[in-house]
């Protein structure tokens, strides 16, 4: 898996990552009273955001990058659980908002849905790419009148 990865820069993925980051910031600030939309859907989008950040700088297949993004979400959840078990408190309010403060099984489900959504979107993108004709496709031999 590691051998298939190399550094690269994909500006389109970075643009999507920045756009999704802005949506996540909007959810974390303005959407504080939106209940499940902020918490559950925000966690779904967080996995997609981490995937896009990875994709912007690492050339690899979809599955390893998506698994790495899922792993980041699960690591954050594990950190929340351990912080709770050891009675640790993050003093920085912004960091507490970003990382969360309580471990929850629903968060793990949201991360799994985000992982599945990334795989589905990439499969859809590949299917559309296969259907779309390329600029180098041979043209008809009939003259245009």
Q: Say if residues 69 and 118 touch (Cβ distance below 8 Å).
A: yes
Torsion of CA 107, 73, 37, 52, to 10 degrees: -160
With left for phi above 0 and alpha for psi between -120 and 50, is residue 59 left, alpha or beta? beta
CA distance 137 to 82: 56
- Could you give phi then psi for residue 6, rounded to 5 degrees? -150, 160
Q: What is the pLDDT of residue 2?
A: 58
Q: Which two tokens stand for residue 5?
A: 């990865």
The whole-model pTM stands at 0.82
58 and 14 in contact (C-beta within 8 Å)?
Answer: no
pLDDT tens-place values along the chain, 145 residues long: 556 679 999 999 999 999 999 999 998 888 878 877 888 999 999 999 999 999 999 999 999 999 999 999 999 999 888 888 888 887 888 777 777 778 889 999 999 999 999 999 999 999 999 988 766 655 555 655 5
What is the per-residue pLDDT for 99? 73
The pLDDT of residue 118: 98
pLDDT reported for residue 122: 97
């Amino acid at each position: 898996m590691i051998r298939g990865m190399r550094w690269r820069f994909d500006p389109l993925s970075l643009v999507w990552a920045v756009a999704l980051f802005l949506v996540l910031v909007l959810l974390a600030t303005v959407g504080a009273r939106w209940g499940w939309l902020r918490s559950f859907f925000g966690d779904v989008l967080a996995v997609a955001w981490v995937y896009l950040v990875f994709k912007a700088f690492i050339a690899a297949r979809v599955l390893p990058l998506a698994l790495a993004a899922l792993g980041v979400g699960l690591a954050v959840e594990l950190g929340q659980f351990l912080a709770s078990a050891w009675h640790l408190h993050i003093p920085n309010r912004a960091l507490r908002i970003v990382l969360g403060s309580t471990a929850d099984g629903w968060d793990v489900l949201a991360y799994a849905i985000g992982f599945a959504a990334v795989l589905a979107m990439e499969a859809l993108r590949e299917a559309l790419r296969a259907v779309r004709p390329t600029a180098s496709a041979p043209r008809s031999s009939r003259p245009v009148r």
